[in-house]
Structure 1
Amino acid sequence: MYPAPTLVDRGQYLANHVAVCMDCHSQRDWTKLSGPIVAGTLGAGGQEYGKNYGLPGRYYGRNLTPHALKDWSDQELLNAITAGVSKSGKLLFPLMPYTNYHQMRQSDAKAIIAYLRSLDPIANEVPSSVTPLPVRLGLRMLPHRTALSSDSAAFAGVAYGQYLTKLAGCADCHTERVAGKLVKLAPFAGGMSVKLLGGTLRSANITPDPATGIGRWSKADFVARFKAFDPPHFVAPDAGKGFNTVMPWTLYAGMTESDLEAIYDYLRTVKPVRKRVVVFKASARIGNAVGRPQSA
């Protein structure tokens, strides 16, 4: 018995355009601006994250197609997505943002799982991720629990925008990291660095500060920024050896205008932080860079 199409459709929307599961769990073409997904790799995993992202170990997006998940129950998938616990009971490194998902709406969690079940199975054996022992011990201190929100919970206005912002992981990238940890006193103020082939990228300040953030952006400006990358009328140009970005614009561009507006409304409520960020600094000598195999 197959899940209702409406459930799969909702899961497709969330996994590709809001929570963007497919961003980390597919291969990306870093020769193009924003690293669009390589055709034929949707959900197959293998994307590498390590020193290029300032992480303590080496991590790979897992294969989420039915080829790899055929022996996983829905509950086991739910545990991994919302509690950070794998089928074997292993604790997942929080690069997988389960701490964002543990209060996901029940229907949304079910929709994502239904969508994953609908993907074309792709045989792709992904290397095991490696986490240093001290970090593995620290994982035990994180909350590994599921507290899904009831579908009857009120999600409207700013509260709905906050929910979407959490699912989209905006703070995860738009908050500076020190020793791999988010600087919690300045969420959304930008500054997280990523090494690219052409230089170092730093995430932008998206707090409502008018001088250094997006305080002067109108709601229409915010929505238009995303919709400019909508694949129906946007083709990612070659990145060359200069500027590129890890922001998956072509995925987030698929969000509905109303959802983007809700995120904007929420971001207007966060604390404005006066922090000027140099978004890109070119460099010809970047060792561990996105798009280049990582050294040990």
Structure 2
Amino acid sequence: MKRARKILGVVALVSVIAAGGFLAFFSLKYPDAGPTPTIKVEATPARLERGSYLANHVSVCMDCHSTRDWQLVSGPIVPGTEGKGGERFDESMGFPGTIYARNITPAGIGQWTDGELYHAITTGISRDSHALFPLMPYQSYNNLSEEDLLSIITYIRSLKPVENQILSTQLNFPLNFIVKTIPEKHTPAAEPNRNNAFEYGKYLVNAASCIECHTQAVKGEKVKGMEFAGGREFPFPNGTIRTANITPDEETGIGLWTKDVFISRFKAFADSSSQRQNADSAKYYTIMPWTMFAGMTNEDLGAVYEYLRTIPPVKNQVEHFTAAPSQNPTASK
């Protein structure tokens, strides 16, 4: 009996040492997305203008990295909080842990080099070499053109510093290890042809990471065959919001929408009065940052429409909102 216990003890010890060795090796090997580039971005007026347009209205970096007023329709940004970070995304919203958006004003990343910013945006590897959770859509930003990336960095550098200490992100096991394998090496994309509506629309849809919210996900993995078909759930205290089907299916998607209707849907949130509507009924509950995307040009929205018309239609009727049991049952009517 003593010999058996001794053998089991040795086996257990060897297993612990092996597991520890594997985790140590894993942590040293990953993330692996190549070296941080050594670059210095020349801040030009053209880059500042383009970067502001992308960060506020297309890639909407300010969406997560600012404070949003959820008492108003689509949660517009609270003035003065641009880039300050601190937004919390946790298990109550379906995330595998607690994730905090970083402070991207000079008060938060002022010591970062341009190369470190570029590396984080395109590969998802932070200055301290840890992998960012892909709520930050670096897999989409990895496909942005060199000039657009430099423009976004130029704009971020122009933000007013806002002091805001951010708590550390805590991911649940095993995601805290899996996330290290997600970053990939960056290869700059070619500059898109803005005269080709399909090509440029595809580029903009990627830049806006439309697929991330408009595709159902199970345990963080997108459901194959349901790309852009909506139905991804976002739990909120008052109920569950689901994203829309934006495939060209005529019954459950946007197949019957004209280009003018599509553009008008966004532009309805462009004026200041629309941006101040109270989100006091279920029809106004939305995770979609309409007030930010409303700043896109008609031409760019038209290009997005042209691309979405070409993706496979998927029949998927989405129930936009389901009230939480504790809410007034009439709230969802």
**TM-score, normalization by structure 1:** 0.92
Counterpart residue identity of residue 34, structure 1: S
Aligned to 2:206: 166
Whole-angstrom distance in 1 between the partners of 2:231 and 2:93: 12
* Deviation of the 1:53 alpha carbon: 3.0
Tell me the SS of whatever aligns to 1:235: helix
| Aligned residues: CA RMSD | 1.7
Q: CA offsets per residue over residues 4-50 of structure 1, 9 Å max, x none?
A: 11110100000000000000000111111111111110010011112
**Which deviates further from its counterpart, 181-190 or 205-214?**
181-190
The separation in 1 between residues aligned to 2:92 and 2:246, in whole angstroms, is: 22
Q: Tell me which of 262, 265, 285 is aligned to 1:244.
A: 285
Q: CA deviation at 1:250?
A: 0.3
Q: Does 1:178 align with 2:229?
A: no
Q: Does 1:66 align with 2:106?
A: yes
**Partners of 1:67 and 1:101 in 2: how far apart?**
23
Q: If each structure's helix is expressed as a fraction of its own residues, which one has the higher value?
A: 2
Q: Tell me, in whole angstroms, the C-alpha distance in 2 between the residues paired with 1:102 and 1:141.
A: 15
Corresponding residue number in structure 1 for 2:129: 89
Alignment partner, residue 120 of structure 2: 80
1:66-85 superposed Cα distances (whole Å, 9 cap, x missing partner): 11111101110001000000
Counterpart position of 1:148: 188
Q: How far did residue 249 of structure 1 move?
A: 0.5
Identify which range, 16-25 or 26-35, moves more after superposition.
Answer: 26-35
Query: Which runs of 5 or more structure 1 residues have no equivalent in the other structure?
Result: 287-296
* Structure 2 counterparts to residues 101-120 of structure 1, below 5 A: 101-120=141-160
Give the alignment partner of residue 316 of structure 2, picking from 269, 275, 286. Answer: 275
Query: Per-residue deviation at 1:241?
Result: 6.2
Higher mean C-alpha displacement, 239-248 vs 124-133: 239-248
- Give, in angstroms, the shift of residue 220 of structure 1: 0.4
Work out the CA distance in 2 between the residues paired with 1:248 and 1:7.
24
Structure with larger RCO (C-alpha < 8 A, sep 6+): 1
Of stretches 16-25 and 235-244 in structure 1, the one that deviates more from structure 2 is 235-244
Per the alignment, residue 297 of structure 2 pairs with 256
Per-residue CA distance 1:172-211 (angstroms, 9 max, x = gap):
0000111222113210000101122322111010000000
Q: Are 1:98 and 2:138 an aligned pair? A: yes
CA contact 2:130–2:180 (8 Å) conserved in 1 = no
Distance 1:101 1:235, change over 3 A: closer
Asked if the contact 1:59–1:130 (Cα under 8 Å) also holds between the matched residues in 2, the reply is: yes
In 2 relative to 1, CA 278–121 (structure 1 residues): closer, same or farther, beyond 3 Å? same
> Do structure 1's residue 129 and structure 2's residue 169 form an aligned pair?
yes
Gaps of 5+ in 2: 1-40, 328-333
Structure 2 Cα separation of the partners of residues 17 and 237 of structure 1? 19
How far, CA to CA, are the matches of 2:92 and 2:305 in structure 1?
A: 29
Alignment of 1:185-264 (within 5 A): 185-240=225-280, 242=282, 243-264=284-305
Q: Is the Cα–Cα contact under 8 Å of residues 202 and 280 in structure 1 kept in the other structure?
A: yes
Residues 231-274 of structure 1: per-residue CA shift (max 9 Å, x gap): 34523212236441111100000000000001101101111001
**Alignment pair present for 1:48 and 2:88:** yes
* 1:39 aligned onto 2:104: no
| In structure 2, distance between residues paired with 1:189 and 1:249 | 18
Which amino acid in 1 is paired with 2:262?
F
CA–CA distance in structure 1, aligned partners of residues 69 and 149 of structure 2: 28
What SS does the aligned partner of 1:115 have? helix
* Of 41, 66, 85, the match for 1:26: 66
Aligned residues: 285
What residue in structure 1 maps to residue 43 of structure 2?
Answer: 3
Contact 2:249 2:315 in 1 (8 A): yes
* Offset at residue 2 of structure 1 (A): 7.2
Q: In structure 2, what residue type is equivalent to 1:98?
A: Y
Q: Is the 8 A contact 2:93 2:236 kept in 1?
A: no
How far does the alpha carbon of each residue in 1:261-296 deviate from its partner, in whole angstroms, 9 at most, with x for none?
Answer: 01101101111001101011122438xxxxxxxxxx
For residues 198 and 247 of structure 2, the distance between their equivalents in structure 1, rounded to whole angstroms, comes to: 15
After the TM superposition, which segments of 4 or more aligned residues of structure 1 sit over 6 Å from their partners? Answer: none
- Matching residue of 1:291: none
Contact kept, 8 Å, 1:190 with 1:205, in 2: the verdict is: yes
Tell me if the contact between 1:83 and 1:143 (Cα under 8 Å) persists in the aligned partners. Answer: yes
Q: TM-score, normalised by structure 2?
A: 0.82
